[in-house]
Amino acid sequence: MRAAGLTKEFPSGDGTIVALDGVDLAIAPGEFVSVLGPSGCGKSTMLTIMAGLDAPTGGEVTIGDRPVTGPLLEAGVMFQRDLLLDWRTCEDNVLLQFQMRGLPTAPHRERARELLEMVGMSRFARRFPRELSGGMRQRVALCRALVHRPPLLFMDEPFGALDALTRENLNAELGGLAARAGTSVLFVTHGIDEAAFLADRVVVMSPRPGRIAGEVRIGLPRPRPVDVREDPEFVAHTGRLRRMLAQEGRPAATGEVGADA
Ligand SMILES: Nc1ncnc2c1ncn2[C@@H]1O[C@H](COP(=O)(O)OP(=O)(O)O)[C@@H](O)[C@H]1O
Ligand SMILES: [Mg+2]
């Protein structure tokens, strides 16, 4: 998948907000790309456009030689809010993926249960989301994003609201599932550690208007063990990303500060 020269302008009271300004980004089959950048730099805008959920003002997104012009049926998406339906059990929330596509759910129940088991949620398959913690709810949302075996996965700060330990556990689960399935992933975060832990390549964006400011290739084999975070090579990568972000987060000439969260 490839984004070329993406720009996005939003109308605003006294003119336009330029959210993206000439973003080029390619994701190879099976590649895991993390996007790191300060709040408001255009990460969500870029992800939304690449997933076909919004149109760019300029530039285009293609998969192979096919232009992306609408929501991608072959994609999985996951956001910071889990968006589970409270009146459906966990299993039926996962199976929603098929119902939304007008497909029968029965042939996929087994697969839904397997996935829930893989993320340690089989005991809760018949329970309702309101009975679950935030981390458990995101596990269900992860299963729902993966149940139809999407070759492409778009994730926008999916673990941003979770405590550090739960987040690490979910990073490990996602890392394993994506690597085993060979899924191409676009993962947006402002967490340096999770960006590097998961990705083959971490792309750093500049503050608005969003541009790609640089990238770091994380050459460690995937999936990675939790303690890769202590590996000197990993530490060197996160250090480099921290410096790149600090550079990008500096107040611009207008006096605007990029990072507000
Ligand atoms: N629908 C919209 N209408 C107007 N402005 C928007 C809209 N969506 C995003 N923006 C603006 O575009 C910029 C980038 O937003 P966003 O992509 O959400 O950033 P990020 O995800 O990196 O925090 C921000 O200044 C935001 O206020
Ligand atoms: Mg965002």
pLDDT of residue 251: 56
> Which residues, in sequence order, are bridge partners of residue 214?
204
Greatest CA separation found in the chain? 58
Please check whether residue 90 is in contact with residue 140, taking contact to mean a CB–CB distance below 8 angstroms: yes
Tokens of 85: 């339906």
166 lines ligand 1 (CB under 6 A): no
Calculate how far, in angstroms, residue 17's C-alpha sits from the geometric centre of ligand 1: 8
pLDDT of residue 255: 39
- Residue ranges per structural domain of the chain: 1-30+37-74+193-251
Mean pLDDT, 10 residues at a time, over the chain (261 residues)? 97 92 97 95 96 96 95 92 95 95 94 94 96 94 95 96 91 95 96 97 93 96 97 98 88 44 39
Nearest to 139 by CA among 176, 102, 103: 176
pLDDT of residue 107: 95
Q: Which residue has the tokens 């994003």?
A: 145
Pocket test for ligand 1, best of 45, 46, 154, 157 (most atoms within 8 A of CB): 45
Indicate which atom in ligand 1 lies nearest the CA of residue 41.
Answer: 22
The closest residue, in CA terms, to atom 6 on ligand 1 is 10
**Which one is the CATH code of 1-30+37-74+193-251: 1.10.357, 1.10.10, 3.40.50, 3.30.67?**
3.40.50
Beta strands 58-63 and 201-205 are unpaired
